[in-house]
Amino acid sequence: MTVTDQIAPRRTFAIGPVLDRYYGAGVSTVSVLLFLLLWEFAAEWNWINIRFTSQPSQVFRAAVVLFQTPVFYHHAWVSFSEFVLGFALALVVSIPVGLVLGTSRRVRLFVEPPLMALYTAPRLALLPILIVWLGIGMASKVAVVFLGAVFPIIVNTIAGVRDADQRLLQAARAFGANQIDIFLKVLIPGSLPAILMGVRLGIGRGLLSVIVGEMFVSEAGIGYQLMTYGQGMHMNNLLVYAFVVSFFGYGLTMSVRVLEDRVRSWRSVA
């Protein structure tokens, strides 16, 4: 061993997490490709009825045609607008309400029973009432998305605040922090992972709400197109719209999950 080796130790690179990440992505990609190949050849070998299931190659050709038409983007924009407005309204309402209910026991005891009743009630059962109140336009679908997304975020925010690290709360009080400082610097950062988990759940419920709402009462949107193509047995176009919704929801959910993992790693380091 040289003098340089004794003074400056050799650097080691942590490649384990990187390899795990690429390994997981590779396994997921291979599983999707195997599923598509099995689906394609199952139709060729008459294992499944192509009239009711189609094939990936035909769905891809239908997607190429649909993506070149303005009708597709019109319906996609209608659904996207309804989802964004309803989900944004849910975020604005649910996070402050969840923080207040998590920190105030008296308010929670007063509000929690009707809140849990609404949370367990099927939101789509309220769709006829929303249609009577708001009509069949965008407002009723925005309201359905709001009702689908707001409650998971509220419930998870309450759980995140109530499960805050008691050691941090005691340390903050010991150093003379007031309630506002504790709320802003301890409770909110500590509840971020739970809030983001609620956001992930809200994304799925919000997407389901807007699609089902458009399927039953709408004149435009992806849900409306799904119902139209389903009634006409146009499986290729129906699957294109279904995959678009799935990819959009998966992308949003994974983005929030990445942010959630970063928040959790930041908390563990802190």
Q: What sign results for the dihedral spanned by CA atoms 228, 248, 87, 122?
A: positive
Alpha-carbon distance 81 to 252, whole Å? Answer: 15
pLDDT in tens, 70-91: 999 999 999 999 999 999 999 9
CB 203 within 8 A of CB 249: yes
Comparing CA positions, the residue from 263, 76, 15, 255 lying closest to residue 160 is 263
Sign (positive or negative) of CA dihedral 11, 17, 19, 22 = negative
CATH architecture of 55-269: Orthogonal Bundle (1.10)
Amino acid at 78: V
Number of H helices, E strands in the chain: 13, 0
The rounded distance, in Å, linking the Cα atoms of 182 and 169 is 7
List pLDDT tens digits, range 37-65. Answer: 887 787 777 777 777 777 888 889 999 99
| Residue pLDDT, tens place only, 89-98 | 999 999 888 8
The residue type found at 46 is: N
- Residue 6 binned pLDDT confidence (cut-offs 50, 70, 90): very low
